[in-house]
Structure formats: C-alpha cells, structure tokens
Amino acid sequence: MALLEVRDLTVVFQRKGEEPFRAVDGVSFDVEPGQTVGLVGESGCGKSVTSLAIMGLLPKRGAKVTGTVSYDGTDLLKLSDREMRDRRGRDLGMVFQDPLSSLNPVVPIGLQVTEVLERHRGMPRKEAMIEAKNLLDKVGIPDPNRRLKEYPHQLSGGMRQRALIAIALACRPKLLIADEPTTALDVTIQAQILTVMKELVQDLGTALVMITHDLGVVAGLCDEVNVLYAGKVVEKAMRHPLFSEPRHPYTHGLLASIPRLDAARGEKLTPIKGSVSDNIPWAQGCAFAPRCPNALDVCVQVTPAEEDQLGRLLRCHNPVVPGTPAAEEVPV
C-alpha cells in the first residue's frame, strides 16, 4: 500500500443561487516514500484545490469534498479538526506559492519555525531554537543565527521560500505537498530551491507532491506526472514516456506551445486554440473537445473514460498517434 492514496477525490463548490462548480472531479493517485508525483495543469484546472482538499484546508461550508485520501491507512477526510491539526505539520507538510502571504509578518522567522517543533515534538524553546538553526542551515540560508531573529519582510523572496520549506520540514513529515513553490521566484533562485527539494526527497525519503504549471520543472523533478484539465486527470504516466510520447491532445498541445531554449530559430509555436472559457462540462462529453484538434463527434456526446494503456492512464476518445506533429492553428 502506498503512503498516500487519493481515490476519486471530488470537490464541489456550492454557492447559494448558483450552479454547483466541480473544481476537482474524481482525481486518483498514489505517492510512495521517496517518490515525487507531479500535478500539472494551467490556471483553473483544480491542482491547488486538490492539495487544499488533501490537507483539509478547504472551508467546511460551501465546499463539498468526497472520495478518500488515505494516508498510511487512515482516511484524512474522516478525521476531526482536532485530529487533523495534529497531523498537519507533523505528518503532512505543505509549502505554498507565495511565501510572503503564508508567513506571519509580525512574528520573527525563528518563532515561526520553533512553533511547529514545540507544538508537535514538545521541545522546549531553547532546544527548538537550536533545531531551527540547523533547519535553516539545511535549506541553505546563510547566517541562520541572525535570520532567526528577523521578520519575513527582511528576507528576500528566495530566502522566504527556504524558510517556508524549513517550517514544513521541521517535524520531518513523510509527505510534503508543494503548491507552485517556485512560481514567484526568478529562474536562478528557482534552480536553488528545486535542488534543495530534490536533495530532501533523496536524503530523507520524503514523498513529494509537486503542483506546478511549469512542464520544465516537472521534467526535471517528478517521477510520475498527472496532467489535469478542468478538474480531471486526462493523462497519467511516468515522466519519460509522457514527454517523449504525449498521447492526450492536451498534453501534446501544451508541449508544442512552449518555446524551448534548445529549439532552432524560426521554429513556429503551435498554440492550443481558444481558452479555458470554451470548455464544456465533463458531464456532456470531453471538456477539452472545443479546443481539441483531434475532436470527433463522439467527443461532445460521451464523456471519455479513463483507460489503462501500457502503464499509462488516458482519458480520450481519439488520442494522438505517437510521432505526429502538432496540428496547425485554425484561425479563430
């Protein structure tokens, strides 16, 4: 049994007088210790809501979460708030996208790190401070003794993100969820942070769920990749086959629309036509059909089921034949 098993996770947002909105629609995946699983997709695909649902951070009112999230055999969704608070920070760590808004601006960094150690590991303040110093050192913050006394605004973006990782790691959680941890950072800083995270997975055997929109980050870091579109996983594969032979037209289109550093000059990009607002609801067919170059009549009538094809899960009626170039853009 895997460390984290997410089965058929569904999140429906319901507001009075409005149609319910299925942000996450039957997402399933497993994470083993020492493994990195990626959730990729563009804005609005439900990747962040998935992570919040796993951590139990969605509001009780208005958001209906169904399915199971079993961590080491216990279903996290069935735990009470008190039990969940004991787990968060101890067993499950989370790193958010914007480090400035997820750190408390009026509390020094040191206290924010020791808070976790005191709460979950019952350490006295003095001991916790020494541990906090070691943690900051481990994530590559220079002069940690001084940094412990400083406030978040005194740190640069990269340092703040490191501090956040240090807090998430304070209790050596077995599972770490990172929601766009490098999106707000510059590329050279991104490279530093990704190296830190890679080392953690290797050295501590942490299971990592990496949520990002950047396929480049996924290519270098994740073992298994889930591509999300409009709340459903449309393709799931190990990273090598996924990138060398994308089968779902969305994955295929996404890869063709990214300018690559190693591409020859003058190579044209092939964008995916339209935008997310063109989607149709999954209940009526394939949500991607209106933007899909491979769409058939059946695509707008029948919702495609998830099919297992040689160790790869695919949700498509008419997948891309390996080796075909991306379809030309149809003028809108």
Partner 1 sequence: MSETLVSVQDMKVHFPIKRGVFMDRTVGYVYAVDGVDLEIKRGETYGLVGESGCGKSTLGRAMLRLNEPTAGKMIFDGQDFSAIKGEELRRMRRRIQMVFQDPLSSLDPRQSVESILIEGLRAHDLDKSKEETGKRLRELLSAVGLPTTALRKYPHEFSGGQRQRIGIARALALNPDLIVADEPVSALDVSVQAQVVNLLEELQEQFGLTYLVIAHDLAVVKHISDRVGVMYLGGLVEEATSEDLYAEPLHPYTRALLSAIPVPDPVVEDRRERILLAGDLPSPANPPSGCRFHTRCPWRQQTKCDTERPVLRELKPGHKVACHWAEQIRSGEIQPHEVKPILVEEGDGISPDIPLVGPASVTEALNP
**Spatial separation of the C-alpha atoms in residues 185 and 158, rounded to whole Å:** 7
Interaction between residue 286 and partner 1 (CB under 8 A): no
Cβ neighbours of residue 32 under 8 Å, at least 6 residues apart?
2, 3, 207
Q: Which is nearer to partner 1, 187 or 283 (CB)?
A: 187
Which of positions 153-192 make contact with partner 1 (CB under 8 A)? 153-156, 158-159, 186-192
How far is it, in rounded angstroms, from Cα 279 to Cα 246?
21
Instruction: Kindly tell me which residue out of 116, 117, 237, 254 binds partner 1, with binding defined by CB under 8 A.
Output: 254
Interacting residue with partner 1 among 57, 107, 130, 269 (CB under 8 A): 269
Q: Tokens 């609005």 identify what position?
A: 44
Q: Are the C-beta atoms of residues 93 and 209 closer than 8 Å to each other? A: no
Residues 6+ apart with CB under 8 A from 147: 109, 110, 136, 141, 155, 159, 163
Query: Running DSSP on this structure, what letter comes out for residue 279?
Result: -
Name the minimum Å distance from CB 47 to partner 1. 13
Select the span of 10-18, 69-77, 137-145, 171-179 touching partner 1 (CB under 8 A). 137-145
Min dist CB 213 to partner 1, Å, is: 7
Residues in the chain: 332
Options 107, 258, 296, 302; binder of partner 1; rule CB under 8 A: 258
Sequence-separated (6 or more) residues with CB below 8 Å from residue 18: none
Give helix 109-121 / helix 157-169 axis angle, nearest 10°: 10
* Distance of closest approach, residue 167 Cβ to partner 1, in angstroms: 19
Q: Site mask, partner 1, residues 27-66, x = CB under 8 A?
A: ---------------xx-----------------------
Q: Which of 59, 259, 311, 325 binds partner 1 (CB under 8 A)?
A: 259
Closest among 186, 206, 203, 239 to 39, alpha carbons compared: 239
Interface with partner 1, residue 268, by CB under 8 A: yes
Helix, strand, coil in percent for the chain, rounding step 5: 35, 20, 40
Q: Which of residues 85-114 bind partner 1 (CB under 8 A)?
A: none
- Provide the binding-site residues for partner 1, judged by CB under 8 A: 42-43, 140, 142-143, 146, 153-156, 158-159, 186-192, 194-195, 213-220, 239-240, 243-244, 253-263, 265, 267-273, 275-277, 329, 331-332
